[in-house]
Chains A and B, each alone.
Chain A
């Protein structure tokens, strides 16, 4: 009998990035530690985001939430309200999760009763001008952005 097995909800908020969302959800299907549910908050998208989410219904325990009022905080809060897991993991629609992302998020929560929040390393793929990526890398190396 294994001990301490918390459930994990992954919350993804998205708006008009159907193709990127597909990659993000695809990475969740390949997790070594499967998510117990995936809450996707569609923040009033006008593209085929809904179709992409429905296409993953047989691969993930997915919950579709529509939030008509635009804005990241509102969408994120809608995700948290609809999540039922013991642990809530956030990933954005333009990110791809490493295969062991959820596994290594779960371990410190389970091992240490004092842990409330867990963060991980983020690596950046160059997109567009790359200025956002350059800003973060430079400032993280200086220690001015919390790792």
Chain B
């Protein structure tokens, strides 16, 4: 348990107001001593292979009073021990965090992985690839062998694709500051925006200018030359935030949001440009579901009308349309279960939308009975969409671009416009074959690891069912992935139809399952749990 919140804030405030000699030496010594103590205690745990100090502290960018000590601990692969080493590491860390406030929440600040998990994160997830790759140059190995250093070198194309994933993390953090209603304290906001703009600049410099920059100050220093004069002046102001964290003046959130969005959108577009040059492709076909199929409760028209009303109420004359688009891309993180039957509400506007108006729209969306499945997006320049909602499981706010989410943009272009008209045509997209097959392979590996664990039965019934439809959707696509044209089911209803084609003798219980799933989805009493065991069996057989 970290320091009590009531005590933490005044202590932080005191430290950031007293960052001058000789106190800075004292703070530095406190951080160094804490790191040393953690190393001594953690290296004693059986099975620990490596301990890394990551991020700000490792790079010498720690802000005393605000920065936590970020650690990664790698333990031996242990099929027989069933995670005992990990639990011991976590217990040691939690004890440290209880007495030393420089160690933050273990869920957020501490990464504990087996060697195989660490390697898989690096191989399969762009966000981790980018961070671990950077870590090879900036992390400090406190103990053990250099596991990160022994991972294969990524290609430049892979690294650029991975780099833009970092933007999603920072977009999720600034989204909370912009739209959540409960804003952090002024000095925390200033520090957050300093980091977010600096990290977005680093990615922009890497992806768009081919310049690798390790430090935040250097990134802010160099990015100014690539921006318009007004943006450049704003970057200069952002640099001042770090020096004057405790200053009283308010921060220009609207301008900062626009700068972040501009840097991020440019980076995504650059990555898309590289991807579109690839020749070998597979055509993916999706059928656009109609409104009733999307809403799953016979109230599709009402839902569309309510969304339009909310958009006009919150955003007024700024808004051009609020389109309802089904989520169709494959999400690698199968346990988040946030992709099947999710409804993206995509806002198009005439000009920039003020954050407080967007925040108002997010609040109205949260009040909808469909809220858990609704994800509002802001479309920028017609080709990059920023989610306005942070996924609670993954603590993640998505950014979609034409290259990374072609189905989404295909469905958006052919789909439901602000007038509420529905067309149920087929949408065709051309995807690079290698990447499509890679995505399916990675997703299969994730599904397999869920199915092989007994914990699959312990999932909340609704979480399991969303996993089930998503996993079945992947398995159906995998079976056809060698074909020139692959048909992808979009909604759970479409997955159901395809499953019945695949296995007609099971149509009875599958239809029953879908009916109960819809009840569960709408929070009604359901018997859906009765189908879990049978559904696991079907997935294992597929």
Contact = CB atoms under 8 A, between A and B. Distances in A.
Interface of A: 1-5, 107-108, 110-115
Given A111-B461, A112-B457, A114-B454, A1 B529 contact: no
Contact of B512 (A1, A110, A112): A1
Contacts of B454: 112, 114
11 contacts: A1-B508, A4-B531, A4-B533, A107-B529, A108-B457, A110-B532, A110-B533, A112-B454, A112-B458, A112-B533, A113-B457
Contacts, number: 40
B530 A5 contact: yes
Contacts of B532: 110-112
A3 B458 contact: no
A113 B533 contact: yes
Interface string B527-539: 1011111100000
Given A107-B529, A110-B529, A111-B529, A4 B457 contact: no
| 10 A-B pairs with least C-beta separation | A112-B457, A111-B532, A4-B530, A3-B530, A107-B529, A111-B457, A2-B527, A111-B529, A3-B531, A2-B530
Contact of B533 (A1, A5, A111): A111
Contact of A2 (B457, B458, B512): B512
Contacts of A115: 457
A52 B403 CA distance: 73
Nearest to A112: B457
Chain B interface size band reads 10 to 19
B502 interface: no
> Interface on chain A toward B: helix, strand, loop, or mixed SS?
loop
Name the residue in A4, A108, A111, A112 with the highest tally of chain B Cβ atoms < 10 Å from its Cβ. A111
Nearest to B461: A111
Interface in B414-468: 454, 457-458, 461
A111 B529 CA distance: 6
Nearest to B535: A3
A110 B530 contact: yes
B99 interface: no
A24 B532 CA distance: 32
Contact of A1 (B457, B458, B461, B509): B509
Given A4-B534, A110-B532, A113-B533, 19 more contacts: A1-B509, A1-B512, A2-B516, A2-B530, A3-B530, A3-B534, A4-B530, A5-B530, A107-B461, A110-B529, A110-B530, A111-B529, A112-B457, A112-B458, A112-B532, A112-B533, A114-B454, A114-B457, A115-B457
